[in-house]
Every structure is written in structure tokens, then in C-alpha cells.
């Protein structure tokens, strides 16, 4: 349900069997059924209302049959709010060795070395068994750069697979199946893919094949072109994005949902986000720094009084607590970012707020070193 607009930026409310979530929404990534270095309670305390889990990895280990036997993904993860599972397509197409055909993709199981085939039907079967609230169609993720002929082949296959996913979906009343718009950087291909998916009348739509090395400018251009092709009354999900400046640009284009490993991945390497830029806490300048990561932050690390000096020490000592505290902080930073964006949209001043945020975020000497 769309609640407010400011230019193309949107604020809304989406409802699933496990509750409602507000948009714009950032979804922390729990690849193997857990957000790295965080408990479900810690994730919830950041304000996250949706988490993402990975079909490819859960298929390989522990297997969807076990998850289903133990009560489904929500019970398995101990997460009571909304879950989205991706289709496994991005991971499969990222593998160095694979055989791609119209039927699906064959590859080697990285856990036990066995041969595995992932098809549209199999992807949906796994996601039906896992029981997430939002599931994704199996698509062909085109790499960047790609010649137009390769991108066109990816669109053709993505649309054929979308029809098969729709036919295979056994739980449409319980799980919202989103389509994925492919087409690389080619406007005509994006239009063709979007039109065909919209004609299927799906409950939501994603833009895929972005954040694959094309850079901020191209990402913005593709998103600005593709977003208006999607229905006004359905959630719009930009997959795998991204840095704060990417999220804010995409929100301005009319996108609603985002996921990325950046907050937790960066946290584990001592890189933390603040309203004044990014800090690398292993830098010697923080060895005696008594300030929290960000004085304006209300996360467990900052409000709890943990200093930059203490975190610097934890990283030097290889203490697990360093990753925990910084992951909690970074995820909270992202959740507050989209929450503040939502407030600005509702109040009718999104662009002014965005310019102010970016001026502070990019204009200080505290950029990562």
C-alpha cells in the first residue's frame, strides 16, 4: 500500500503472513539463515523488519527438506518477521564452472562435490519448502559488461523461466512470487522484460543484474529507466544494492526494497558507517579515540559507550566481539538511513534531506583510509 510520494520517491506499507513492513526497507542478508555475527534479537533491535536468506546455500546445506521438517525457515532461524529468499540464480551464475541451458544450470556442489542441477521448477520447489514470505523467480543474471546479444539471450531465458516458475509455484496464497527484470544496461531489453513480467500480474517486481560492477552512475541510469516501468501499486525491489549513496539515489528513482551484504561484510573488516563518512577502525588514529563510532547513533555499540579505541583494540586482538558490535552498528545505520528517508518522503522534503545527508556524509575528512 502506497502511503506517500515525494517526486518519484515512495513510502509504503507491505503486508505478509508474518506482519507488515514499511518501505523504503533495507533487508539484512542472512545467507545461510543467519545474519553474520548477529543474533535474531540483535537484528530486530536495529529496526529491520525483513531479512533475506539464500536459496542456493540452504539447498546445499542443510537442505530444504530438513528446514521444512523442523517447521520452516522462520522457526529454523527464530525470526518472527518477514523473510525473503532469493532464487539462487545470482549465486549459480557467479560460479566459475557451470553448464547453462534453457532447462536450467548444472554445477558442482561446493559442499560434497556432487553434481547439482537448478531449474526454475527446482528453485521454486526449494523456496516453497523453506516457506519464506516473499520468494523470487529463477532468472539469468547477466554479467557486466555484456554485449547486447548476450543480454538479449538472458532476457529471453529469464522470461521463459518466469512462466515456468509461475506454473510451479505451489503456495501462491502464502508466498508472494516476485519477478526479476533483466536486460543489463540496454533500455530496450529492460522495457521488453518489464512489460512481459508486468503482464503476468505478479505481487511484486525486482530489478536484477545491477550492482555487478557497473558503477554508481550506470546503476542510477538503469534504475531511473526501469523503475517507472513497474506497477505503481506493487513493491519494487532493487537487488544487491548497496552503498548509502546508491540506496538514496534508488529511493529517489522510486524503488522500495534493498538488500546487501555490505553492512556486515564491511563491519567484519573494521569498516563502519557514520553520518560523517566511513571509518576504518584499525587505523592507528583510533588507538586512543574515546568517542563512540557515531555519537548520533542509538545502536548497542554507540549508546552502550564502546569507544573507537576499544574497538580498535578488539580488532587488533582478533576478538569476535569486534565483528558483533560493528555489525550491529552498521545494520542499525542502514535501518536508520531508510527510516529517515521514509520520514523525509512523508514530510514532502526527500530531495532536500538527501542533499543534506550526502553533504555531511561525503564532505568530511573521516572518509575511510
Between residues 111 and 305, the one the model is more confident about: 305
User: Has this prediction a pTM greater than 0.85?
Assistant: yes
Mean pLDDT, residues 83-105: 93
Residue 288 confidence (pLDDT) above 50:
yes
> What is the pLDDT confidence band of residue 44, given thresholds at 50, 70 and 90?
very high
Mean pLDDT, residues 282-306: 98
pLDDT in tens, 337-348: 999 999 999 999
Is the dihedral angle over the CA atoms 86, 124, 153, 198 positive or is it negative? negative
| 195 phi/psi in degrees, rounded to 5 | -60, -45
Mean pLDDT, residues 173-201: 99
pLDDT in tens, 117-153: 999 999 999 999 999 999 999 999 999 999 999 999 9
| 253 phi/psi in degrees, rounded to 5 | -85, -10
Mean pLDDT, residues 91-105: 92
The SS3 assignment for 13 reads strand
For the chain, give the mean pLDDT.
97
Mean pLDDT, residues 264-283: 98
Q: CA 114 to CA 107: how far, in whole Å? A: 9
Q: CA 132 to CA 52: how far, in whole Å? A: 9
Q: How many residues does the chain have?
A: 369
- Residue 185 DSSP one-character state: T
Q: CA 236 to CA 206: how far, in whole Å? A: 6
CATH numbers and ranges of domains, the chain: 2-260 (3.20.20.105), 269-362 (no CATH)
Residues 6+ positions from 62 with CB-CB distance below 8 Å: none
Residue 365 confidence (pLDDT) above 60:
no
Residues with active-site annotation:
86, 259
- Cell output for 103: 532447462
**pLDDT recorded at residue 368:** 42
Mean pLDDT, residues 201-217: 96
Share of the chain above pLDDT 70, in %: 98
Amino acid at each position: 500500500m502506497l502511503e506517500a510520494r515525494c517526486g518519484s520517491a515512495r513510502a509504503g506499507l507491505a503486508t505478509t503472513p508474518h506482519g507488515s513492513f514499511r518501505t523504503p526497507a533495507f533487508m539484512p542478508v542472512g545467507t545461510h539463515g543467519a545474519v553474520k555475527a548477529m543474533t535474531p534479537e540483535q537484528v530486530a533491535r536495529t529496526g529491520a523488519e525483513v531479512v533475506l536468506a539464500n536459496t542456493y546455500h540452504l539447498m546445499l546445506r542443510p537442505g530444504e527438506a530438513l528446514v521444512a521438517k523442523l517447521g520452516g525457515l522462520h522457526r529454523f532461524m527464530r525470526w518472527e518477521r518477514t523473510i525473503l529468499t532469493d532464487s539462487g540464480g545470482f549465486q549459480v551464475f557467479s560460479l566459475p564452472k557451470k553448464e547453462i541451458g534453457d532447462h536450467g544450470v548444472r554445477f558442482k556442489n561446493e559442499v560434497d562435490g556432487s553434481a547439482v542441477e537448478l531449474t526454475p521448477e527446482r528453485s521454486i520447489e526449494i523456496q516453497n519448502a523453506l516457506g519464506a514470505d516473499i520468494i523470487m523467480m529463477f532468472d539469468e543474471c547477466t554479467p557486466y559488461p555484456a554485449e547486447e546479444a548476450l543480454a538479449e539471450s538472458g532476457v529471453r531465458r529469464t522470461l521463459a523461466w518466469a512462466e515456468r516458475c509461475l506454473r510451479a509455484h505451489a503456495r501462491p496464497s502464502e508466498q508472494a512470487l516476485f519477478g526479476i527484470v533483466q536486460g543489463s544496461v540496454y533500455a530496450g531489453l529492460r522495457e521488453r522484460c518489464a512489460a512481459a513480467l508486468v503482464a503476468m500480474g505478479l505481487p511484486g517486481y525486482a530489478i536484477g543484474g545491477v550492482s555487478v560492477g557497473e558503477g554508481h552512475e550506470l546503476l542510477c541510469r538503469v534504475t531511473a529507466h526501469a523503475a517507472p516501468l513497474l506497477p505503481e501499486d506493487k513493491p519494487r525491489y532493487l537487488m544487491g544494492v548497496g552503498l548509502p549513496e546508491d540506496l538514496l539515489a534508488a529511493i529517489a528513482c522510486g524503488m522500495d526494497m534493498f538488500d546487501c551484504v555490505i553492512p556486515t561484510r564491511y563491519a567484519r573488516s573494521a569498516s563502519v558507517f557514520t553520518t560523517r563518512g566511513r571509518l576504518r577502525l584499525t587505523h592507528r588514529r583510533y588507538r586512543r579515540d574515546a568517542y563512540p563510532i557515531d555519537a548520533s547513533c542509538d545502536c548497542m555499540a554507540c549508546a552502550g559507550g564502546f569507544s573507537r579505541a576499544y574497538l580498535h583494540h578488539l580488532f587488533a586482538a582478533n576478538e569476535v566481539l569486534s565483528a558483533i558490535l560493528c555489525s550491529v552498528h552498521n545494520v542499525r545505520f542502514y535501518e536508520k538511513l531508510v527510516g529517515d528517508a521514509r520520514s523525509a518522503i512523508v514530510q514532502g522534503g526527500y530531495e532536500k534531506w538527501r542533499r543534506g545527508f550526502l553533504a555531511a556524509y561525503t564532505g568530511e575528512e573521516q572518509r575511510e583510509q
